[in-house]
């Protein structure tokens, strides 16, 4: 949900290790008295979407999350604002619109019985590890919906991540406030005509790998990968909300809408 009116006094500045981001970092150093991330009210993130996801995950892992204002010095920059070294960054941050998003909480069980808990801000993907297709049982809301999905993989995307890998796999674009998740198959072979599903985000999803020894599957939560998966259980982590900051008129919601009208 969008909101504003918050005043951020202490800002942290983080940059990816690319030359462009490091140059921007040096240019912005003189604009204020930057503080370490663990002392900040908000963080300015210089880089691309990947570095923004990395920063958000680092805050989730540390147990202290502050609003993030990204400036695009990467490729797509879907989660970022325009970079402008001439504008006063503190003014932009304090005038920004706030968008709150909730990640997925993922419990991934490996074939040896170990359980790993991860967060997925964009999506969780299950992908075949070998030339053999994956076979996956799909359960939603405590009911088995597909007993055997034969495919290269399957993913579950949040609204914030619906324009990323999900869209490339022909999944639907979800409005940011839709409270829905996209369940999208990757190169499905059987059921041949199944195109995926749009699900209320209150429903729990379980993806169980069939014949995992012969048909091993990896799980990828944004940028973190686990191999030899037996089962993945996931639901929205409402207690781990994240806040992204956008310049007025440049919200994530508008970008999700605009993405659906791109014709070239």
Which residues sit in the known binding site for NAD(+)?
A: 49-50, 122-123, 152, 160, 163-168
Phi, psi of 42 (to 5 degrees): -160, 165
Beta strand 115-120 with 104-110: parallel, antiparallel or unpaired?
A: antiparallel
| Omega before residue 5 within 30° of 0, cis | no
Q: Is 49 a residue of the active site?
A: yes
CA torsion angle 226 227 231 235 (round to 10): 20
Q: What's the distance, Cα to Cα, between the start and end of the chain in Å? A: 30
Active-site residue, selected from the candidate residues 17, 26, 38, 49: 49
Residues labelled as active-site residues = 49
């Amino acid at each position: 949900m969008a909101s504003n009116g918050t005043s951020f006094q202490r800002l942290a500045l983080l940059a990816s290790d690319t030359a462009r981001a490091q140059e921007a970092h040096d240019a912005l150093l003189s604009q204020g008295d930057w503080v370490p991330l663990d002392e900040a009210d908000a963080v300015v993130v210089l880089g691309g979407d990947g570095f923004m996801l990395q920063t958000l995950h680092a805050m989730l892992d540390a147990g202290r999350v502050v609003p993030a204002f990204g400036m695009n010095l990467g490729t797509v920059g879907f989660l970022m604002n325009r970079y402008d070294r001439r504008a006063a960054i503190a003014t932009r941050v304090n005038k920004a619109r706030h968008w709150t998003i909730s990640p997925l909480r993922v419990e991934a069980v490996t074939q040896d019985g170990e359980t790993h808990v991860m967060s997925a801000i964009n999506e969780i993907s299950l992908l075949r590890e070998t030339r053999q297709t994956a076979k996956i049982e799909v359960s939603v809301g405590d009911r088995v919906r597909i007993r055997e999905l034969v495919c290269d993989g399957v993913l579950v995307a949040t609204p914030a991540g619906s324009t990323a890998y999900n869209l490339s796999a022909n999944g639907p674009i979800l409005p940011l406030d839709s409270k829905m998740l996209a369940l999208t198959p990757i190169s499905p072979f059987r059921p041949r005509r199944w195109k995926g599903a749009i699900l209320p985000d209150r429903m729990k999803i379980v993806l169980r790998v069939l014949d995992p020894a012969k048909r091993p599957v990896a799980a990828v939560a944004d940028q973190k990968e686990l191999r030899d998966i037996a089962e993945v259980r996931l639901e929205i982590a409402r207690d781990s909300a994240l806040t992204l900051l956008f310049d007025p008129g440049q919200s994530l919601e508008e970008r999700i809408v605009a993405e659906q009208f791109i014709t070239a």
